Structure 1
Amino acid sequence: MLPIMLSALTRGLRVAGQAVLSGRRYCKKTSATRICKALSSRDLGRDIKIQGYVRSMQKKKKHLFLHVNDGSCLQSLQVVASSEMYDSRLTFGSTVEITGSLEKSPHQKQPVELQAQHIQVIREGHPVNFPFKVKEKHSLEYIRQFPHLRCRTEIFSSLMRIRSEATSAIHSFFKDNGFVQIHTPVITSNDCEGAGTMFQVEPPVGERGQDAEQGHFFSAPAFLTVSGQLHLEVMAGAFPCVYTFGPAFRAENSRSRRHLAEFYMVEAEMCFVNSLEDIMRVMEDLFKTVTEGILSQCAEDVDFCHEYVSPGHKDRLNDMLKKKFTVLSYTEAIEVLKNSAQTFAFKPEWGCDLRTEHEKYLVQHSGNAPVFVINYPYDLKPFYARDNGDQPQHTVAAVDLLVPGVGELCGGSLREERSEMLRSRLDKAGMKDAYQWYLELGLGPHGGFGMGFERYLRCILGVDNIKDVIPFARFTHSCQL
């Protein structure tokens, strides 16, 4: 008897002759319990066992029809049983275990169905006041009100499967390109970006440990990280290419569609790079390779999301993948904005940071293709951005990647490796003592970038609100569950 993931039944059987086994194997004398990612047509006629949740139930005179899904795929498996197996507890959301024979379905829309021999109701279905109805299309905004239940909707399940596949694809990209993964700390004493929007970490009063007389649990004030970049730079002294993929935190008082207090960052650092073109090439390859992998591995879920959330977005996404990303200098970008007929809430001037409205216009100006903006003013970027040494408009070798529907997706720079220039900048900023360790690294030419993972998902799926692409959203005045 084989308990299997329903994804194997609804789409795996379409792959002739392919059998891929993964996950748990509990070997017994006469049988093995297996979870299969793909099954071949040879499994037709076999006795199997499935476990999942009832998505719909229809009772006829002689037959009972159930659609059961275990969350592993978009499509549910049809179960056909004798009407004598009917149980009043078989309602929407019921948890069931069903054994039977896997047979070819007579219906074109489903390749297989399960002829049930036994149905066990493990847990009754959802109560009458359950907020989601089977045949009703609920908006992402509506289901966001129920963070403990929204994973049971088709759309949010699809979003989470895509998120999982995107995570795997990102790790594969870096592994295939020789990067070493580094687990950078969540608790840090460094403010990487110098913005001051950090959550401070302290234990309860009276439990401060050995440094209680100094008022801190650690030897210095500690915070939740806003970026793993500086720790990656430390590791870049021993490895040519490193990356990290983990949570980051910003104590921004914002409830906008673009910001979260806790989110995920993909960050990479590369040694022996001497130009922004080297960094931009990795950014573009990462975006395109990961996206193509998701479109290949999660085609049904992606199509469903595009249809549900943003009809027509798939064509726009495919167009993005075909185009070479545009490159504009910051100075050119300011001129484009100044010469536009559009009225901006924030007047574009050289030396001012680009606002969301500016970023969106620049993307539109580039034919709705991703655009790199390079060489930002010296005063706009942190101490580690490499000085271009140009005059009279003093710039650094920094780059932002702007994408349709989102704005800034990635930010990066060449890092300042010249000791005297780095020391001088830290001196001017009054940061030399705090970052003496950084001066001691003695790194050669290097550079890197960071990409907001939730922003990436918004971009490829056309999701309007960042709170809808993360399992549990954290933002000001909201920390449910």
Structure 2
Amino acid sequence: MLQAAAKTLSLSRGASFSIRRYSVKTPTKLRVSEAVSGAQLGGNVKVQGWVRSVRPQKANLFLHVNDGSSLQSLQVVASSELNDPLLTLGSAVEVTGTLRKSPHQKQPVELEADQIHVIGVCNPVDFPFKIKERHSLEYIRQFPHLRCRTNAFSSLLRIRSEATTAVHSYFKENGFVQIHTPVITSNDCEGAGELFQVEPSGPENEEGEKFFSVPAFLTVSGQLHLEVMSGAFSKVYTFGPTFRAENSQSRRHLAEFYMVEAEVSFTQSLEDLTKNTVEAMLKKRFPVITYSEAIDILNHSSQKFSFPTNWGCDLQTEHEKYLVKHCGNVPVFVTDYPYDLKPFYARDNQDHPRHTAAAVDLLVPGVGELCGGSLREERLDLLRARLEEAGLEDTYSWYLDLRRFGSAPHGGFGLGFERFLQCILGVDNIKDVIAFPRFSRSCHL
């Protein structure tokens, strides 16, 4: 908009005259999220983003532009004179104009464009995504460097970001202290041996000499480090990447994924731990059955399973899916697993003859196991005996120290964040809820 101001200049001859000075009001730069919410309605604004759709007509040009700040794109309406062959799906643009209330119900506002400037060209011939085609998640997965440009995947990533914030908010509001547990570690928490070993690749390292003096691995869990911290803080959690060297191409497994893990001191009830923490975090209440009850359900089923269902066997995916369906197709807690199925740190229930551990898994529809946890064995004599039996007493002497110096009953759990997103979003493949999936024979970018 032009604003006039008059100024009188005196000349050296004593004469005087008036001139007008005009200034242009700088448009207000808005994010798309601000624009679609109605900020600066009626004002001169500038929006930058990427074209999500182009629809030229005889008299008008319609664009949808998004900068990643909003699930909803901003509709841009312009004269057909502003059409440009470079305005294609995926091109980066800067649009200046007036923000108006939209006459259509599909969007609350629209931007009447005065200027459209193409900042970054996108070749429509080579670009793998087309405006009039609906691409499946499986198709866009072939382009890990470009799939964030699609509406579907960018929406998934925004939801993932919001879910991450919600997890941190829950723990902060409930008095947990966040601990940054290490990515490189010398312990194998799960005991499954599915580890990525870490060694430097530079020529300056002597052959046969270990960088850390001991074997080092990418972490499979931050649990043991959280147990250390639970001796000083009664509630701790971590949220970070974990790694499993599983040679799997399934829709449920990744070599690198994120875990939400928590540890709570001064708790002696597995039910309290799961119901007070896991259910509160997920904001749902779930039925609870024991492992023994689960085996009875499987054995009385008319369904034929590929894997055995005798007491003492580990539950397989087919078993987990059946149990979820049997319980009404809702998430279900399974507690008190056979002692021999669980790692050395799980608390012994001492319930002979069926020897079980105070351990729990949360099974959910479409995914199977989402969350696993246990009470930890705080009794020094029982813990030492189990470590001796496994030949791990020297390796975990520091872990025994935790029980020798001010030990308190405690327990915790780990929740797979990608599986959680699969569950709440109904996404079939875990590779579609993480920006850069890592799995066997695949490490793009």
| Same fold? TM cut 0.5 | yes
Deviations 1:174-222 (A, max 9, x none): 00100000000000000001111000000115333xxx47521112010
Q: Which amino acid aligns with 2:262?
A: A
Conserved 8 A contact 2:89-2:124: no
Matched, 1:218 2:212: yes
Separation in structure 2 between the aligned mates of residue 355 and residue 104 of structure 1, nearest angstrom:
55
User: Residue 466 of structure 1 corresponds to which residue in structure 2?
Assistant: 430
User: What is the CA-CA distance between 1:65 and the residue it aligns to?
Assistant: 2.1
Q: Secondary structure at the match of 1:67?
A: strand
2:193 corresponds in structure 1 to: 196
One-letter code aligned to 1:136: E
| TM-score, length basis structure 2 | 0.91
**Shift of residue 342 of structure 1?**
0.5
Q: Distance in 1 between matches of 2:30 and 2:56?
A: 25
1:4 aligns with 2:30: yes
Look up the SS of the partner of 2:340 in the other structure. Answer: helix
1:397-428 deviation line (CA, Å, top 9, x unaligned): 00000111111000000000111111111000
Equivalences for residues 56-455 of structure 1 within 5 A: 56-204=53-201, 206-208=203-205, 212=206, 215-281=209-275, 282-288=277-283, 321=284, 324-442=285-403, 443-455=407-419
* Maintained 8 Å contact 2:238/2:261: yes
Give the whole-Å Cα distance in 1 for the aligned partners of 2:75 and 2:377: 61
**Distance in 1, Cα, partners of 2:439 & 2:425:** 22
- Cα distance in 1 for partners of 2:64, 2:176 equals 44
Whole-angstrom CA distance in 2 between matches of 1:283 and 1:395 = 22
Q: 1:60 to 1:137 in 2, by over 3 A?
A: closer
Q: Tell me the secondary structure at the aligned position of residue 358 of structure 1.
A: helix
Superposition RMSD on alpha carbons, in Å?
1.3
Alignment-mate amino acid for residue 2 of structure 1: T
| One-letter amino acid of the structure 2 residue matched with residue 241 of structure 1 | K
Q: Is the 8 A contact 2:321 2:366 kept in 1?
A: yes
Of 125-134 and 403-412, deviating more is 125-134
**In structure 2, what is the Cα distance between the partners aligned to 1:85 and 1:138?**
29
- Between structure 1 and structure 2, the one with the greater Rg is 2
Partners of 1:2 and 1:129 lie apart in 2 by: 35
**Structure 1 portions without partners, runs of 5+:** 14-38, 289-320
- Between 327-336 and 54-63, report the one with greater CA deviation: 54-63
Return the TM-score normalized by structure 1: 0.84
User: How far apart, CA to CA, are the structure 2 residues paired with 1:95 and 1:363?
Assistant: 46
The letter for the 1-side match of 2:237 is: Y
**Secondary structure in 2 aligned to 1:100?**
strand
Please tell me the residue identity of whatever aligns with 2:433.
V
- How far apart are the structure 2 equivalents of 1:365 and 1:70? 45
**Structure 2 residues without counterparts, runs of 5 or longer:** 1-26
**Which secondary structure state, in structure 2, belongs to the residue aligned with residue 441 of structure 1?**
helix
Question: Any conservation in 1 of the 2:198–2:218 contact (CA below 8 Å)?
Answer: yes
CA distance in 1, matches of 2:142, 2:248: 18
SS of the aligned residue for 2:402 comes to coil
- SS of equivalent to 2:279: helix
Q: Give, in whole Å, the separation in 2 of the partners of 1:126 and 1:432.
A: 62
Q: Would you say how many aligned residue pairs link Structure 1 and Structure 2?
A: 415
